[in-house]
Amino acid sequence: MVVVMSPKATDEDVARVVDMVEDAGGEAFVSRGKHRTIIGLVGDTERFVALPLPGLPGVDELIRVGKPFKLVATESRPEPSEIPVGGTLISRRAVCVIAGPCAIETEEQALAAARTAKAAGAHILRGDAYKHRTSPYAFQGLAKRGLEILAEMRAETGLPVVTEVLHTTDVELVASYADILRIGARNMQNFQLLREVGKLHKPVMLKRGLSATIEEWLMAAEYIAQQGNQEIVLCERGIRTYEPMTRNTLDLSAVPLVHRLSHLPVIVDPSHASGRRELVAPLARAAVAVGADGIMVDIHPHPETALCDGPQALRSEEVGPLIADIAAVAQALGKPLAGHSHGLSAVGG
């Protein structure tokens, strides 16, 4: 941590900072410049952050050096994390494909999408029973009935499933059905929910908030990790910008940055980022090329009748070519598609 003093700070102002730091068990190194003095603090940053330094007379600015996250930081683990989901691993060694309906609307629609995903080579199925909608008048999901259909998708295909948990009160129920729970973008800073899933012994996928910085995203993961659950998969899904042609702007730089800053794997959701079917395949290819550990895409057997996000869902016949394309890119870059699970472990047992 560095304390930048104001040009008008007096010797007493400087001494006051030094005393406070030393009282807290730290060391303070003073550099007196022509225009201003800066003080380098050496010791326990967390203790320094708690000190009332910002309001002291003569103090202009505090600059934090280093990053505030700990458990999810690269430094805390020698090797990248590998997260087992059913029989598949989400890891930096291979590219994982997650596919399925955005919302589970009917048994028929959901199973059709699940079969398409399986046939095309997906590793994990998605399908939501609880939907987060901007309007209270929009379709909000089938709730428990949706989870039952999810279980059918799982049983029929043998693939593990990911589904969103919206509310703290649903965590237990959703966890009894899901192989991996998803925290949506709008809930990225719902810290109560993060703490609840942090208590589970089950993987969690954490989507980046609509206007979250990468640092805030990793701090949200830290909330989960702090409760004891470090089986976290990050998911980049676009950030809010001024550009109106896409729903959000996919920030692919986040992938290599997360790989440097954290040991967690990171996947990309091009469907929700763009909101446009025709952009899903090119962005999925780009995600794999930038180094993502997986992609997640929406599929709908009849997108034109979808109750939620139809314009972004891939048609059944588009899924196979997309996976073939990303397999080719993955292969070219020496990080192949993930292998497939051989049998599911029991869920909710």
d(CA 67, CA 218): 10
What are the phi and psi torsion angles at 293 (to 5°)?
A: -90, 5
Candidates 77, 115, 132, 340: give the one binding a copy of itself (CB under 8 A): 132
> Is residue 136 at the binding interface for a copy of itself, with CB under 8 A as the rule?
yes
The smaller minimum CB distance to a copy of itself, of residues 56 and 112, is found at 56
The smaller minimum CB distance to a copy of itself, of residues 49 and 155, is found at 49
The smaller minimum CB distance to a copy of itself, of residues 16 and 115, is found at 16
Judge whether 277 and 300 are in contact, CB under 8 Å.
no
339-to-91, 97, 122, 242 alpha-carbon distances in Å: 11, 10, 10, 39
Between residue 145 and residue 184, which ones bind a copy of itself under the rule CB under 8 A? Answer: 166-169
**Nearest residue to 318 via CA among 281, 285, 348, 344:** 281
> Is residue 106 at the binding interface for a copy of itself, with CB under 8 A as the rule?
no
> Is residue 199 at the binding interface for a copy of itself, with CB under 8 A as the rule?
no
List, as own/partner pairs, every contact residues 247-254 make where C-beta atoms lie below 8 angstroms and the sequence separation is at least 24, other chains included: 247/272, 247/273, 247/274, 247/275, 247/276, 247/312, 248/210, 248/272, 248/273, 248/274, 248/275, 249/273, 250/274, 250/283, 250/287, 252/286, 252/287, 252/290, 252/292, 253/290, 254/208, 254/214, 254/217
- By CB under 8 A, the count of residues binding a copy of itself is 103
SS3 57: coil
Span of 78-86, 93-101, 287-295, 341-349 interacting with a copy of itself by CB under 8 A: 287-295
Judge whether 235 and 215 are in contact, CB under 8 Å.
no
Closest approach, Cβ 224 to a copy of itself, in A, equals 9
The smaller minimum CB distance to a copy of itself, of residues 81 and 249, is found at 249
The smaller minimum CB distance to a copy of itself, of residues 201 and 260, is found at 260
Counted residue by residue, the chain has a size of 349
Write the interaction track for a copy of itself spanning residues 241-280; mark x where CB under 8 A is met and - where it is not. Answer: xxxxxx--xxxxx-xxx--x------------xx---xx-
d(CA 236, CA 248): 11
Between residue 221 and residue 240, which ones bind a copy of itself under the rule CB under 8 A? Answer: 222-223, 226, 239-240
Between residue 294 and residue 313, which ones bind a copy of itself under the rule CB under 8 A? Answer: 302-307, 310-311
Candidates 190, 229, 316, 341: give the one binding a copy of itself (CB under 8 A): 190
Candidates 290, 322, 323, 344: give the one binding a copy of itself (CB under 8 A): 290
Judge whether 31 and 39 are in contact, CB under 8 Å.
yes
Between residue 40 and residue 99, which ones bind a copy of itself under the rule CB under 8 A? Answer: 40-44, 46, 49-50, 52, 54-56, 61, 63, 65-66, 68, 75
Judge whether 259 and 290 are in contact, CB under 8 Å.
no
> Is residue 332 at the binding interface for a copy of itself, with CB under 8 A as the rule?
yes
